[in-house]
Amino acid sequence: MTYMLGIDVSTTATKALLIDDHGAVVDVAAVEYSFQTPHPLWSEQDPDLWWQGAIQGIRQLLTRTGVDPARIAGVGLTGQMHGLVLLDGQGTVLRPAILWNDQRTAAECQAIHERVGRERLIRITGNEALTGFTAPKILWVANHEPDLYARAEHILLPKDYVRYRLTGAFGTDKAGAAGTLLMDLKTRDWSPEILEALDIPPAWLPPTHEGPEITGRVSGEAAALTGLQVGTPVMAGGGDQAAQAVGVGAVQEGVIALTLGTSGVVFAPVAQPFIEPEGRLHAFCHAVPGRWHLMGVMLSAAGSLRWYRDTLAPDVSYTDLLAPAEAIPSGSEGLIFLPYLTGERTPYPDPLARGAFVGLTVRHTQAHMTRAVLEGVAFGLRDSFELIKRAGLGRIDQVRVSGGGARSDLWRQILADVLGSELVTVNTTEGAAYGAALLAGVGAGVWPDVDAACEAAVRITGHTAPDPAASDRYDRVYAEYQRLYPALKGSFERLAEG
């Protein structure tokens, strides 16, 4: 039997996952770590944590499974997007990585818009400048740490640092590269115009590769540390959301991936480099060769429910908390929750947006509040669906839902009713690491292409159909939900001033 290894370098852990040539998960190992916030709005991490996590995770898998490393046909990489890893000419890390959730670069985002032009930037990269992206982080280092910046010779994303340590080669995938704000979405490669405007040397950036392509092979040094065989091919893989979409089979137009994790993601594959003119939807390359995707992101999806439980019912299980909400009518009898607890991304790129309960009366109970939280998150995700529909992408044939929040029958039903679409669950639950392993299998020739890999490995396990009467009620409540952010935006800004 042949095996594939998927490695996911996330913000909180490095996960190593082993699958066989039928797509079955053999074992999973995860090594956790933390990140630092040395100043307000900052978020940083030591890249060596990712590499040590990969070493330990791979060794754990090999020890527990007894799999012969010679039977591992390839390694696929995925992980957190948008982070900045700076290396010098000897490959030494110059400073802690600046992560995707770092918010220090507002001035640099404004500078990018001024240098390139906001509309021109969106036309080339598919996105406006946001603090999470890599490009403004590069400018921040140039502005605030010029001596260190002068020593830089390589720019990598987090998972690509692990690639470098595994192979000694520099490289990245096109899906991850599209999240740097330095890529021409149409050509699927670095944009000379953007690099020149931002004064970033092209030689600092690694070559870009399609998801299943081989980017290097495991070196002798890495083999000694991990237990992998020397020469094992390492494939490009994909940014975490693109790899997650591969892992649930969202690789063709019409099949939408909805991830209900701490954040919420709506991921729509497209066959062409489609750009939403206002930049309200992210437009990136897919990990599938020759395909792209549009993506909407809300920052506090299942995170809203976790905050609500931890704050108001810390000793109550999620099952016990949600059970009474099933008896509450759709619309929570006039109570609406705004899920902007950590600001928002789509459709309002506003770090000052705040959460709120609107419409509270003395007859509302905790069960009403619980259901309102679930509904508010569903409304927030519908914002992205509405943008996708208005972008003219055609049909939505199926919505594949995953993530911790998707385990709730009630929440899935609310989502189906709010979106007016059938939701399906699939057999794959390991997310991005699983998608990376499938991409490795394609690169190793186990499957001829990504479509075939998903067809072989991903199966539908459940259906949740919308209730027409509930959908009609939610349409009316959603119209009120849409009016709340514009009405409260000024208050949010004034409250943020303290």
Q: Is 237 exposed, middle or buried (0-12, 13-18, 19+ CB in 10 A)?
A: buried
Looking up residue 35, the CATH number of its domain turns out to be: 3.30.420.40
| Distance from chain centroid for Cα 175 | 11
Domain range for residue 48? 3-243
The DSSP 8-state label assigned to residue 290 in this structure reads T
The pLDDT assigned to 401 comes to: 95
The DSSP 8-state label assigned to residue 180 in this structure reads T
pLDDT by residue (tens digit) across 184-199?
999 999 999 999 999 9
CB under 8 Å to 284, separation ≥6 — which residues? 126, 127, 175, 178, 179, 185, 239, 241, 242, 292, 293, 295
Burial call 451-468: b when 16+ CB within 10 Å, e when fewer:
eebbeebbeeeeebebee
433: how many CB neighbours lie within 10 A of its CB?
33
Residue 228 lies inside a defined structural domain of this protein: yes
Active site residue 383: no
Structure tokens given for 249? 């089979």
Mean pLDDT across the chain: 95
Q: Is residue 127 over pLDDT 70?
A: yes
Residue 108 lies inside a defined structural domain of this protein: yes
Is-contact 161 51, C-beta < 8 A? yes
Residue 32 lies inside a defined structural domain of this protein: yes
Residue 69 lies inside a defined structural domain of this protein: yes
pLDDT by residue (tens digit) across 267-307?
999 999 988 888 889 999 999 999 999 999 998 999 999 99
pLDDT by residue (tens digit) across 301-354?
999 999 999 999 999 999 999 999 999 999 999 999 999 998 898 999 888 899
Structure tokens given for 417? 């009713």
**3-state secondary structure (DSSP) of residue 127:** coil
- Sequence letter at residue 215: T
CB under 8 Å to 410, separation ≥6 — which residues? 322, 325, 326, 374
Cα–Cα nearest to 373, from 341, 346, 421, 350: 341
Structure tokens given for 211? 């998801």
Among the listed residues 173, 184, 240, 383, the single catalytic one is: 240
Q: Is 26 exposed, middle or buried (0-12, 13-18, 19+ CB in 10 A)?
A: middle
Cα–Cα nearest to 222, from 84, 59, 444, 95: 59
Residue 300 lies inside a defined structural domain of this protein: no
Residue 301 lies inside a defined structural domain of this protein: no
The pLDDT assigned to 394 comes to: 59
pTM assigned to the model: 0.92
pLDDT by residue (tens digit) across 389-419?
888 765 788 999 998 899 999 999 999 999 9
Considering its fold, how many domains does the chain have in total?
1
Residue 355 lies inside a defined structural domain of this protein: no
Residue 78 lies inside a defined structural domain of this protein: yes
Q: What would the DSSP string read from start to end of 76-108? A: EEEE--S-BEEE-TTS-B-SPEEPTT----HHH
Beta bridge partners of 266: 258, 296
**3-state secondary structure (DSSP) of residue 335:** coil
